[in-house]
């Protein structure tokens, strides 16, 4: 299993009613999009979030977070959150909403 399908289903439930929602396989996992912009995703057992550089720096101060380094080089606008940081539904919703908030500030992709 390349990604946690149960976690992907939980994220899907949080996002499915949002305008412009779609999902597709990327990064060896599942990515969730809003208006064509990547918002968040699941890789292996971790939650991947697109927060923008400023929000990423702040989020990295939280427990169970780390820089996204998918290619071996840190991506300054994204983080991973480890399982203890999103096991609780309220925590998962918090993190997903942080990514949604950032992605809603971006122009839609055509």
Laid out side by side, the sheet with 21-26 consists of 21-26, 29-34, 37-43, 46-50, 75-81, 65-68
So where are the chain's domains? 5-69+78-103
Cα–Cα distance, 107 to 86 (Å, whole number) = 28
- Percentage of the chain beyond pLDDT 90 is 87
Sign of the CA dihedral running 51, 52, 58, 64: positive
Beta bridge partners of 41: 31, 48
Output the pTM of the full model. 0.94
pLDDT tens, 49-63? 999 999 999 999 999
The per-residue pLDDT string of the chain (110 residues; one tens digit each, 9 = 90 and over) reads 579 999 999 999 999 999 999 999 987 899 999 999 999 999 999 999 999 999 999 999 999 999 998 778 889 999 999 999 999 999 999 999 999 999 999 999 87
């Amino acid at each position: 299993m390349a990604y946690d399908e149960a976690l992907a289903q939980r994220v899907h439930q949080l996002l499915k009613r949002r305008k412009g929602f779609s999902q597709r396989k990327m990064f060896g996992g599942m990515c969730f999009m809003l208006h064509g912009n990547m918002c968040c995703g699941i890789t292996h057992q971790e939650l991947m979030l697109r927060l923008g550089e400023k929000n990423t720096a702040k989020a990295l101060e939280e427990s169970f977070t780390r820089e996204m380094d998918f290619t071996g080089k840190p991506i300054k606008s994204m983080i991973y959150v480890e399982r203890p940081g999103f096991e609780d539904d309220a925590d998962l919703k918090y993190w997903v909403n942080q990514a949604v908030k950032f992605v809603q500030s971006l122009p839609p992709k055509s």
